[in-house]
Amino acid sequence: MKLNRNFNLLLTGQSLANIGDVLYIVSIIYMIFELTGSATAAAFVPFTITSSMFISNTLTPLLMQRFNLKWLLAGSQMGKTVLLIGLAFFLPQLSLANFYGLFLVISLVALLDGCANPVTQSLIPNYVKSEQLLKTNGLTETVTQLIQTAMWFVGSSLLIWLSANELVWLTAGLFLVSSLLLSFLERVDFTPSKAQGKWKQITEGWQTVSTSPVLKRIVWIDVLETIAGTVWIAAILYVFVSDALLADEKWWGFINGAFFLGLIAGSLFCLRFSDWIEQKISQFIFLGAISSSLVTIFFGLTNLPMLALLFSFLVGVFGQIKNIPQQTVVQTSVPKAQLPTVFTTLGAIGTGTFGIASLLMGVLADAFGIRGVFILSGILLSIVSLIAYKGRVLLWRTV
C-alpha cells in the first residue's frame, strides 16, 4: 500500500509516542510498587488515567476552536515531554511523603493523551484517500498492537539494565522526537459551522452523535462492548487463571499475551483482505461481535489452560475484525469537519464507561463468581451482535 508523507509522519510520530507511553507506565507502576509495596496503590494508576482522559475528551473541543489539529497533536506530545523531564528531576527526591505527586503527573499526562487520541483519529481521513481508509486503519491497528504487545515485555526487561529514572529520561526523548515529527504534518483546521459559546463547543459532538442514527447505534455497541471488555483487565484475568483454571501465574501472562497476539492477527487479516471487507463491512461487524460472544462464553466455561489460551487469542482476532470496519464507518459517517468533536464524544463515553464498569465487574466477580462475569461478557457481546445485525443497513461507509 502506497502511503503519503503526512500519514507516514503521523504513524511514526504516534508510534514513538505509544512506545514512550508504555515505558512511562512501566516505570511509574514499578516506582509506586517499590516505594509503597501496595498493589492497590499501583492499581490506582489506570483509574487515574481513565478519569483524566474522560475529562480531557470532554474539554478537548474548546482547544479545537483555538488551535489547528496538527499543532494540537504536536503540542500535546511536547507537553508530555516537559512533564516527563520534570518528573525525571523529581524522582531522586521521591519518598512516601511526596509520592502522591506522581499521580498529579500521571493525571496531567493522561489529560494530554485524551486530547491526542481523537485528534489522531480525525486526521487520518484528512491525510488518506477514502478508498484506502479501511486498509490504513488496519495498518495503524497492527502497528499499535505490536507496540503494545512488545513494549510491555521490553519495558520490564529494560528495568534490569536501567533505573526507573533513566527509563523516564528515555521516554521524554521519545516524546520529544514524536512532537518534532508531528510538527511537520500538513496543517488541518477544525472549523465549527457557526460562532459558538463554550458550552455549545463542548456539547457539539454529543449533539452530532445524538442526531445521527449510525453513531447512536455505534454508541450502544461501544458501551456494551466496553462493559464486556472489562473482564480482560489484568486483575480479573488473574483471578480467573488462579481460581477457575487452577493454574500458576505463568498462564496469566500466556493468556494475556495470546489476547494481544489475537489483536495483531485480526488487524493483519483486515489489512490483507481490506478490499473484501470494504464490500461487506456490516457483515464483518456482525460476524466479529457474534464470534467474540461465543468464544468469550467458551473461555468462561473451560477448565483447560490450553483451551483458554486458544479462546483468548480468538477473542482478540474477532474483536479486531469487528472494530476496524466499525472505525471506518465512524470516519465516513459525518463530514470531516465534524470528526474531531465526534471522536472526543466517543472517547468520553468509552473512558467513562470503562472506569465505572471495571469497578462494577470486580464487584460482580466477587458476588457471582469469576466464571459468571465472563458469561455475562459473552451475553453482552451477543446483544452487540443483535444491534449490529438489526442496524446492518446503517453500518456502512457513506463516502
pLDDT at site 379: 96
**Domain ranges in the chain?**
5-189, 201-390
The number of angstroms, rounded, from the C-alpha of 91 to the middle of its chain's C-alpha atoms is 28
pLDDT at site 271: 86
Classify domain 5-189 at the CATH topology level. Answer: Growth Hormone; Chain: A; (1.20.1250)
Determine whether domain 201-390 maps to CATH 3.30.499.10.
Answer: no
DSSP per-residue letters across 303-369: --HHHHHHHHHHHHHHHHHHHHHHHHHHHTTS-GGGHHHHHHHHHHHHHHHHHHHHHHHHHHHHHH-
User: Do 5-189 and 201-390 agree at the fold level?
Assistant: yes
**112 and 81 Cβ atoms separated by less than 8 Å:** no
Q: Which residues of the chain have pLDDT under 50?
A: 1-2, 195, 399
Give the C-alpha distances (Å, rounded to integers) separating 120 from 32, 66, 71, 126, 185: 31, 17, 11, 10, 12
pLDDT, tens digit (0-9, with 9 covering 90-100), for 130-173: 778 888 888 888 888 888 878 877 777 787 788 888 999 999 99
Give the C-alpha distances (Å, rounded to integers) separating 345 from 227, 312, 334, 350, 352: 17, 30, 14, 9, 11
pLDDT at site 164: 83
pLDDT at site 135: 84
**42 and 168 Cβ atoms separated by less than 8 Å:** no
